């Protein structure tokens, strides 16, 4: 039961975090104003922008000169809001009875950790710098966890704790990232497009930007790897050869297809050998002319569409025997690897 | 995969070869070792009914799961080699499950589970498929 309820709460909060609906400006301003009041400040003036990039480049009128985004974690308001959140969490944690601890740990595993991973993978790429304690404070991961402590684990909150949690929850549900200065709070609109795979685990869109905001700011990503747009539009062996980033290079090659890449790049076949454990298929070793060789193999399992995927692995340049190169990838000798019984 | 029913597992076990030797599942390999072994400092856990998550794919999905009948398998995330994920010892057959690769069946024995690596300028890195 805990697992199903936790999954429902996780989906609900993930949906809010990765939403592309327009923000609810009145609700966001009310919740953020409420948080300012709780730390003894008057509600700020609100300055709305179309994207986090715009927020990070804008110094809003009325902002103190010391409140530059580079010093975000030292601004007074985020510092005090972090303390408010820490006090809430510590206060609730103290109210968790010993017998509820296993459920609480289960919720941490099922909610806090996966939501944190999704936010890191899908939303942080819009921020630069991406790290900062203030961004973690706004993350739905801890809010969802405490929401679930109340709704699933039956932990009792005081009325004051409920009010504080409700403000954080309303702010997180109503808008995107926000930057609270002393007299003005910059709030970003949500993205207009956000494409992920595996249920929000990482950014992925083979057909266009994976993350895009109304002001045109955008990034492309394949299976969670941020890539330049040429990887989507025109991956050529020449561009691949010039690309220094190994993840980007791999994404571009996979976009092109390993066999097409090997052919178009004119890689020289060094040797081929039957693939142990994968009857009827070969391991093929290619010379790239560079500091690595490429071992091309065929997947042991069928894809969902019934095809078999070819994939390449880079191996050290001194290998001449494909079986020895395949063994090396698992830290085994050619002799050991040749005894592979089955590969799926 | 963790919600896989016992019936699903039984149904799979009818089709999965249970082998004693070296087997690979995507970016993982299962290496039989003359067991049982008990590396110093290893923390063993009994494999629970829902299985043990050996490795998650790239960013969360596509998990390699180790599943066994309760009480028949123990696992330690002990790493003798930097590519290792850990060691399991089974008194009955156990299965490695993955959403995109066929399942592996391992006969009773002790096995090291190891990740795959790739060469890159100046060294190696682990493969995440």
**Which segment of A109-118, A155-164, A300-309, B21-30 scores lowest on mean pLDDT?**
A300-309
B119 touches A at CB < 8 Å: yes
- Kindly state the average pLDDT of the residues A217-225: 94
**Partner-chain contact A198 B22, CB within 8 Å:** no
Q: For residue B4, what pLDDT is reported?
A: 54
CB pairs under 8 A between A and B: 100
Q: Are residues A215 and A262 in the same domain?
A: no
**What domain count does chain A have?**
3
Q: Are residues A241 and A265 in the same domain?
A: no
Most confident among A235-244, A299-308, B19-28 (mean pLDDT): B19-28
C-alpha–C-alpha distance, residues A15 and A9, integer Å: 10
Q: Are residues A20 and A162 in the same domain?
A: yes
Q: Is residue A147 part of a domain?
A: yes
Q: Shortest Cα distance from A193 to chain B (angstroms)?
A: 20
**Which segment of A34-38, A46-50, A73-77, B31-35 scores lowest on mean pLDDT?**
B31-35
What is the complex's ipTM, to 2 decimals? 0.87
Query: Which residues 6+ apart lie within 8 Å of B54 measured at CB?
Result: B28, B63, B64, B65, B66, B85, B86, B96, B113
Q: Are residues A79 and A223 in the same domain?
A: no
Q: Shortest Cα distance from B61 to chain A (angstroms)?
A: 6
Q: Are residues A226 and A280 in the same domain?
A: no
Question: If you write DSSP's letter for every residue of A61-104 in order, what string do you get?
Answer: TT--TT--GGGGGGSHHHHHHHHHHHHHHHHHHHT--GGGHHHH
Domain endpoint, select from A190, A211, A241: A190
Which DSSP state fits A108? I
Q: Is residue A343 part of a domain?
A: no
Write out chain A residues lying below 8 Å of B127, CB-based.
313, 329
Write out chain A residues lying below 8 Å of B19, CB-based.
341-342
Task: Please name the member of B19, B58, B120 whose beta carbon is closest to the beta carbon of A314.
Answer: B120
Tokens found for residue A108: 């941490």
Tokens found for residue A226: 């941020």
Q: Are residues A208 and A160 in the same domain?
A: no
Longest dimension (CA), chain B: 48
Q: Are residues A297 and A234 in the same domain?
A: no
B101 touches A at CB < 8 Å: yes
pLDDT (tens, 9 = 90+) of chain B, 129 residues, equals 444 555 565 555 568 999 999 999 989 999 999 877 888 888 999 999 889 999 986 545 678 999 999 999 999 998 889 999 999 999 999 999 988 888 999 999 999 999 999 998 778 888 876
Write out chain A residues lying below 8 Å of B125, CB-based.
246
Q: Is residue A314 part of a domain?
A: yes
The gap between the terminal CA atoms of chain B, to the nearest Å, is 17
Q: Is residue A115 part of a domain?
A: yes
Q: Which helix (H) or strand (E) holds A255?
A: helix A246-256
A307 touches B at CB < 8 Å: no
Q: What percent of chain A has pLDDT over 70?
A: 100
Q: Shortest Cα distance from B105 to chain A (angstroms)?
A: 10
Q: For residue B7, what pLDDT is reported?
A: 54
Of the candidates A176, A91, A99, which has an alpha carbon nearest to the alpha carbon of residue A138? A176
**Which segment of A51-60, A119-128, A175-184, B120-129 scores lowest on mean pLDDT?**
B120-129
**Partner-chain contact A199 B22, CB within 8 Å:** no
Write out chain B residues lying below 8 Å of A332, CB-based.
22, 29, 31
Domain endpoint, select from A190, A219, A246: A190
- Whether the pLDDT of residue A48 is over 90: the answer is yes
**Partner-chain contact A201 B116, CB within 8 Å:** no
Q: Shortest Cα distance from B101 to chain A (angstroms)?
A: 5
CA angle A76, A113, A74 (to 5 degrees): 15
Interface with chain B: mutation pick from A123, A243, A341, highest number of B CBs within 10 Å: A341
Domain endpoint, select from A164, A190, A216: A190
Q: Are residues A49 and A101 in the same domain?
A: yes
B79 touches A at CB < 8 Å: no
Q: Are residues A118 and A264 in the same domain?
A: no
Query: Which residues 6+ apart lie within 8 Å of A244 measured at CB?
Result: none
For chain B, helix, strand, coil in percent to 5 are 5, 40, 50
Q: Is residue A104 part of a domain?
A: yes
Q: What is the pLDDT of residues A258-277, one digit of tens each?
A: 889 999 999 999 999 999 98
Q: For residue A166, what pLDDT is reported?
A: 98
Query: Which residues 6+ apart lie within 8 Å of A190 measured at CB?
Result: A19, A20, A21, A22, A23, A175, A176
Which DSSP state fits A246? H
Of the candidates A165, A190, A178, which has an alpha carbon nearest to the alpha carbon of residue A138? A178
Q: Is residue A48 part of a domain?
A: yes
Q: Are residues A131 and A30 in the same domain?
A: yes
Q: Are residues A92 and A70 in the same domain?
A: yes
Question: If you write DSSP's letter for every residue of A319-344 in order, what string do you get?
Answer: ---HHHHHHHHTT--HHHHTT--EE-
Write out chain A residues lying below 8 Å of B52, CB-based.
none
Q: What domain range is A320 assigned to?
A: 257-337
Strand partners, A219: A211
Q: Is residue A153 part of a domain?
A: yes
Write out chain A residues lying below 8 Å of B61, CB-based.
197-199, 201
Q: Are residues A205 and A280 in the same domain?
A: no
Q: What is the pLDDT of residues A167-219, one digit of tens each?
A: 999 999 999 999 999 999 999 999 999 999 978 989 999 999 999 999 999 99
Q: For residue A305, what pLDDT is reported?
A: 73
Q: Is residue A7 part of a domain?
A: yes
């Amino acid at each position: 039961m805990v697992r199903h309820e936790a999954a429902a709460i996780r989906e609900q909060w993930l949906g809010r975090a990765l939403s592309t609906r327009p923000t609810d400006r009145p609700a966001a301003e009310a919740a953020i104003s409420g948080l300012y009041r709780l730390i003894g400040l008057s509600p700020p003036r609100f300055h709305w922008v179309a994207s986090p990039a715009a927020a990070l480049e804008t110094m809003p009128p009325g902002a103190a000169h010391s409140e530059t985004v580079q010093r975000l974690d030292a601004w007074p308001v985020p510092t005090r809001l972090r303390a408010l959140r820490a006090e809430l969490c510590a206060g609730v944690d103290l109210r968790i009875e010993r017998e509820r601890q296993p459920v609480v740990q289960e919720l941490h595993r099922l909610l806090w950790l996966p939501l944190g991973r999704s936010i890191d993978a899908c939303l942080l790429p819009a921020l630069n710098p991406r790290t900062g304690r203030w961004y973690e404070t706004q993350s739905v991961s801890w809010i969802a966890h405490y929401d679930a402590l109340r709704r699933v684990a039956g932990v009792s909150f005081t009325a004051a704790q409920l009010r504080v949690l409700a403000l954080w929850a309303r702010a997180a549900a109503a808008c995107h990232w926000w930057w609270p200065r002393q007299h003005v709070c910059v709030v970003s609109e949500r993205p207009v497009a956000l494409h992920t795979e595996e249920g929000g685990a990482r950014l992925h869109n083979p057909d266009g930007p994976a993350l895009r905001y109304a002001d045109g700011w955008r990034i492309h990503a394949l299976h969670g790897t941020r890539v330049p747009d040429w990887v989507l539009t025109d991956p050529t062996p020449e561009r691949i050869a010039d690309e220094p980033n190994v993840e980007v290079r791999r994404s571009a090659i996979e976009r092109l297809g390993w066999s097409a890449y090997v052919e178009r790049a004119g890689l020289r076949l060094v040797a081929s050998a039957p693939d142990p454990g994968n009857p009827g298929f070969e391991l093929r070793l290619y010379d790239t002319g560079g500091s690595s060789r490429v071992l091309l193999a065929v997947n042991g399992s069928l894809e969902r569409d019934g095809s078999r995927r070819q994939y390449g692995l880079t191996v050290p340049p001194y290998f001449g025997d494909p079986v020895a190169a395949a063994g090396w990838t698992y830290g085994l000798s050619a002799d050991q690897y040749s005894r592979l019984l089955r590969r799926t | 995969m963790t919600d896989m029913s016992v019936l699903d597992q039984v149904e799979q076990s009818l089709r999965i070869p249970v082998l004693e030797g070296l087997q690979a599942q995507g970016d993982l390999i299962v290496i039989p070792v003359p067991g049982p072994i008990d590396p110093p400092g290893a923390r063993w856990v009994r494999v629970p009914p829902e299985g043990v998550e050996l490795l998650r794919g790239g960013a969360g999905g596509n998990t390699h799961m180790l599943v066994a009948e309760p009480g028949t398998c123990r696992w330690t995330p002990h790493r003798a080699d930097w590519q290792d994920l850990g060691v399991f010892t089974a008194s009955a057959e156990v299965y490695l499950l993955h959403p995109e690769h066929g399942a592996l069946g391992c006969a009773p024995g002790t096995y090291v589970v190891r990740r795959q690596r790739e060469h890159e300028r100046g060294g190696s890195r682990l493969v995440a498929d």
